Amino acid sequence: MKSIGESLFRLERAGTPAPKPTLQRVNAKAIGLQESWFRDAIFAEPELVVGPCRMAGRIPADEAWLPWRIETNFGSGPIDVLLISSHGRVGIVETKLSYNPQKRREVVAQVLDYALSLQESDREDLPELPDHPAAPLEEDLIECLNAGRFLLVIAGDALDPRALRLSQSMLARHLTSEWDLAMVDLNLYRTSADDNHLYLVPELLGTVLSDLRQVVRVVVEGESPKARVMVDKIVHEDERTGRYNKLKSVDELLAAIETNHPRQVSVARSLVEQMQRTAAQSNGRLTFGLQSTSASLYHESPNGPRRFLTLRADGGFRVVLQYLREAGLEDVIDVVVAAVAPAITIQRDDRAASTRYTVANEAALLEVVNRVGAMDA
C-alpha cells in the first residue's frame, strides 16, 4: 500500500485556499515505461535516489554523488547504474518496476550479489574516475572498495517495503562489509492534458544500515584442541555514528604500520602524536580522525570537516587540497601550500601530493604539522 497521495494539488497563495488536484499518479506499466527509462533518469540525475537518503540523514550532507557507468558487469550481471561519491563510496542502483514478476527475495539477492562481485574486483577492473571537481581521490576509492563501503539502492515505481525485512536478514550474512541499502520509490505524476511531461516525486521507503560491531568469543571445551566459536553481535547507538571510522585507536594504526613497514613505525608515532596535539591546540579549527587505513587532520568548513593532511598505513604522508577546494576554502589552500613546502611540493591547483615518511625526513614533516597548526591562529 502506497503512503503517498494519488494527486498533487495546486493552491493559490492569496485568499482562501482552494486545493485543486493538478497532477495524478500513474504507474509505469500504464504509460508504457521500461526499467531503462528509470535507469537513464537516475544516471542523468543521481539526486533522484540520493536526495531522499540525504534528507533522512542516511548520507552525509557533504557527500556528493556522481554518475559513473551504466550496465557495468563485474561477474554477476550488468548493474543498472553505477555511482561514485566524493568520499570514494560506490553506489549500486538496481531499478525494478511493479509489473516485473521478480520476487522480493530475488531483487534483494541480486543487488547483494552485485555488491559481492564488486568487492571482489580489483581497482583496474573499475572504470576511470569521472573528470569532475567532486570526484574522489584514487586512495579513497581503493579504501572504500577494500572495505566494501557501498550504497545499494533499489529504485522503482511501486516497490514492496516488505523487502526491507529480507534485506536486513540478508545483509547480516555479510558482517565484514559496510553495505548500506536503501529502497526509493520514484512516484510518477502527470496532468490529464499532457501525456508527455512527467513529474517524479522520490520517496524513501526505508534503509538498512550496516553494522560491523561484533564480539567474537572463543570457547575451548575440555582437553580437545577443537574450539567452538561463538559470535555475539552487540550494537550500541553511539557506535552507529562512528561506523565509517574502521580503526578504533591509534594503536591499531601503528600496529598495521609495524607489521608492514617496521622501520617507519617510530616516525609514524611521532607524527600522529604531533597531529593530535595540533588539533587539540587549534581551538576547534582542526580535528583529528581515523579512517580504516589512515590518520588525518581536518579543517572546519560550513559543510563539515574537510580532510587535508593524512598519514597512511602504507607509509605515505599526503596533503589533499581537493576537499578544501570543494568547500570553498581557497584561503586555507594558500596557507597549506606554503606550510608543507619544501617537504612536499604541491601547486595550489593540484588535487593532492604525497611523500613517504622516513627517519630522514621526520623533522621536516613534524615542522609541516607545526606550521599547519599555526595557520589562521
Say if residue 116 is in the same domain as residue 51: yes
Element housing 204 (H / E)? strand 194-208
In-domain check, residue 218 = no
Mean pLDDT, rounded, for 321-338: 91
Band of pLDDT at residue 37, cut at 50, 70 and 90: very high
Say if residue 194 is in the same domain as residue 102: yes
In-domain check, residue 229 = no
**Model confidence pLDDT, tens digit, residues 214-230:** 433 344 444 444 444 44
Band of pLDDT at residue 371, cut at 50, 70 and 90: very high
Is beta strand 294-299 parallel, antiparallel or unpaired with respect to 215-220?
A: unpaired
**Model confidence pLDDT, tens digit, residues 184-215:** 999 999 987 777 889 999 998 877 765 544 43
Domain with 342, as residue range(s), is 250-374
Say if residue 145 is in the same domain as residue 268: no
Place of cell 488536484: 21
Last residue of a domain, one of 147, 179, 208: 208
Which triple of cell numbers denotes residue 154?
Answer: 533499489
3-state secondary structure of 98: coil
Q: 58 near 37, Cβ under 8 Å?
A: no
Say if residue 130 is in the same domain as residue 73: yes
- Residue 119 has a CB neighbour count (10 Å cut-off) of 21
Instruction: Tell me the DSSP string of 249-281.
Output: -HHHHHHHHHHH-GGGHHHHHHHHHHHHHHHHT
Say if residue 32 is in the same domain as residue 132: yes
Element housing 179 (H / E)? strand 179-191
Task: Using the CB atoms, write b or e for 59-84: b if 16+ within 10 Å.
Answer: beebbbbbbbbbebebebeebbbbbb
Q: Is the pLDDT of residue 317 over 70?
A: yes
Say if residue 19 is in the same domain as residue 162: yes
In-domain check, residue 284 = yes
Q: Is the pLDDT of residue 241 over 50?
A: no
Mean pLDDT for the chain overall:
82
| Helix and strand counts by DSSP (H, E) for the chain | 11, 15
Band of pLDDT at residue 165, cut at 50, 70 and 90: low
Say if residue 188 is in the same domain as residue 83: yes
Say if residue 166 is in the same domain as residue 300: no
pLDDT for the residue numbered 1: 54
At 359, phi and psi to the nearest 5?
Answer: -60, -35
Short-list 211, 203, 145, CA closest to 175: 211
In-domain check, residue 169 = yes
In-domain check, residue 228 = no
**Four-CA torsion 144, 72, 65, 102, nearest 10 degrees:** -100
* Dist CA 67 CA 64 (whole Å): 10
Say if residue 20 is in the same domain as residue 92: yes
**Model confidence pLDDT, tens digit, residues 253-305:** 999 999 989 999 999 999 999 999 999 999 999 999 988 788 999 999 887 88
* Dist CA 85 CA 92 (whole Å): 11
Which triple of cell numbers denotes residue 292?
Answer: 580504516
Last residue of a domain, one of 179, 208, 237: 208
Say if residue 200 is in the same domain as residue 275: no
Q: What is the CA radius of gyration of the chain?
A: 24
pLDDT for the residue numbered 60: 81
Which triple of cell numbers denotes residue 70?
Answer: 551504466
Last residue of a domain, one of 147, 177, 208: 208
In-domain check, residue 365 = yes
**Model confidence pLDDT, tens digit, residues 62-121:** 789 999 999 999 888 999 999 999 989 999 999 988 766 565 567 778 888 898 888 888
In-domain check, residue 236 = no
pLDDT for the residue numbered 103: 58
Q: 328 near 233, Cβ under 8 Å?
A: no
Instruction: Tell me how many domains the chain contains.
Output: 2
Say if residue 262 is in the same domain as residue 343: yes
In-domain check, residue 354 = yes
Say if residue 262 is in the same domain as residue 339: yes
